[in-house]
Structure 1
Amino acid sequence: MSGIEAVKPAPRRARRPIAGATAQEHLLRAAEELFYREGVRAVGVEAVVELAGVNKMSLYRQFSSKDDLILAYLDRMDACFFERFDASVAKHPGDPKAQLTQYFVDLAERATQKDYRGCPFVNVATEFPDASHPARERVAQNKARLMARLVELAHGAHARDPQMLADSLALVIEGIYAASQTYRHGATPIGTAPALVRQLVDAACA
């Protein structure tokens, strides 16, 4: 014996039930981090409860199934998405043309960060091939809301064909999402998006 006592690993912290809204918030934060980073199919409920610091019973008190947790995650992501959208628009009160461009300035900045994993709704759509799945319905709802906001701003900017402008801008958004995941960091064309959008808006509203 060397006389040096072996160091025992610290005991694993016991997970305990947490009541009500607190448990739900812990679980949703954990799901948001894991689902966005690793994908909803790859992450099991055990990983979610481990990161949340609760036990599995706490999860099933709040969510009837993993699918229910996925839907709650998507609702949370929808709220975050439109909070960001509104924050961009708020930078140019009463100026829809500038508001449209600002949204793409902010999106391009966010989409070139190293930890950006693209659109959570696109990511979920690729994991659920069945278009009738409730998760796919949440995806469609998010995209419909986005399109409605783009059309509203295009109307405000006096576009000749607001729907066509909104459709064009929606395709640029989806292109940014895809490019953020397929090009090497620092070598993407995403930085050109705001200038492209200015050209589209100016041409549509001339």
Structure 2
Amino acid sequence: MRPNKRDELVRKALDVFYRNGFHATGMDKLVSETGVSKTSMYKHFRTKEDLILAVLRLRDENFRHWLYRRIEELSDTPKGQMLALFDALSEWFTKPEFRGCMFIKASAEFQEINHPIHAQSAAHKQILQDHFSEIAEAADANDPRLLARQLLLLKEGAIVSAVLARGGGLAGDPAADAKEAARGLIDLQIPST
């Protein structure tokens, strides 16, 4: 395989895992949906778990780049960017391909805290939390780390609720509801000017 074939395999596998889950996606399904033979897959990845880790790295990079860029496009102030997080989520939730958070799914399917897939999922969430903490600090929040943790909780809850709402299981607008809760937390943390 050409060097870019590995990247192509990871991109295609990301779509398959995102749609179908990790345990439910066997090697035969990956072969049929990616068009890459088992021999070629094993040439680049010793195990399915190695492929999953590569997929999660790509998803982390893609998601963070999209999210950070989008919240900066939606607001040019740190306080506004914290609220814009939920506007960006709202946009994501309406996409036909939305199936929730790949990292929430991965941590649910690989629950042992020392498992590399679980650890990589937790690392993704920590990177997001650190980024929100930097934004909260730039906004002069009283306790930027606490506010970042609270925003992350609202973000994660909104994602899970959006998945359930798509099937008619929940009423309301998870992104808008989370944004209103975030607004209250932000107003408590950031002195008015």
TM over 0.5: yes
Does 2:77 align with 1:95? yes
Does 2:185 align with 1:203? no
Q: Distance in 1 between matches of 2:70 and 2:139?
A: 16
Q: Distance in 2 between matches of 1:101 and 1:185?
A: 26
Aligned to 1:4: none
Between the two proteins, the alignment pairs up a number of residues equal to 188
Does 2:11 align with 1:29? yes
Q: Distance in 1 between matches of 2:92 and 2:34?
A: 26
Q: So what's the TM-score if we normalise by structure 2?
A: 0.89
Does 2:179 align with 1:194? yes
> In the TM superposition, what is the alpha-carbon distance from 1:21 to its structure 2 partner?
2.4
Q: How does 1:3-22 map to 2 (within 5 A)?
A: 19-22=1-4
Aligned to 1:52: 34
> In the TM superposition, what is the alpha-carbon distance from 1:129 to its structure 2 partner?
1.9
Residues 100, 162 of structure 2: 8 Å contact kept: yes
Q: Structure 1 pair 111/92, CA: closer, same or farther in 2 (3 Å)?
A: closer
Does 2:75 align with 1:83? no
What's the secondary structure of 2:73's corresponding residue?
coil
Residue segments in structure 2 that go unaligned for 5+ positions in a row: none
| 1:133 alignment partner AA | H
Q: So what's the TM-score if we normalise by structure 1?
A: 0.84
Q: Distance in 1 between matches of 2:182 and 2:70?
A: 15
| 1:101 alignment partner AA | L
| 1:81 alignment partner AA | F
| 1:163 alignment partner AA | R
Residues 85, 103 of structure 1: 8 Å contact kept: yes
> In the TM superposition, what is the alpha-carbon distance from 1:82 to its structure 2 partner?
1.0
> In the TM superposition, what is the alpha-carbon distance from 1:94 to its structure 2 partner?
5.1
Q: Distance in 1 between matches of 2:120 and 2:145?
A: 22
Q: Give CA-to-partner distance per residue, 1:6-59, whole Å, 9 cap, x none.
A: xxxxxxxxxxxxx23232133112211111111010001122122222221111
User: Which structure has greater helix proportion?
Assistant: 2
What's the secondary structure of 1:117's corresponding residue?
coil
Q: Give CA-to-partner distance per residue, 1:158-196, whole Å, 9 cap, x none.
A: 011111211110110111121022224574331322233
Residue segments in structure 1 that go unaligned for 5+ positions in a row: 1-18
> In the TM superposition, what is the alpha-carbon distance from 1:101 to its structure 2 partner?
1.2
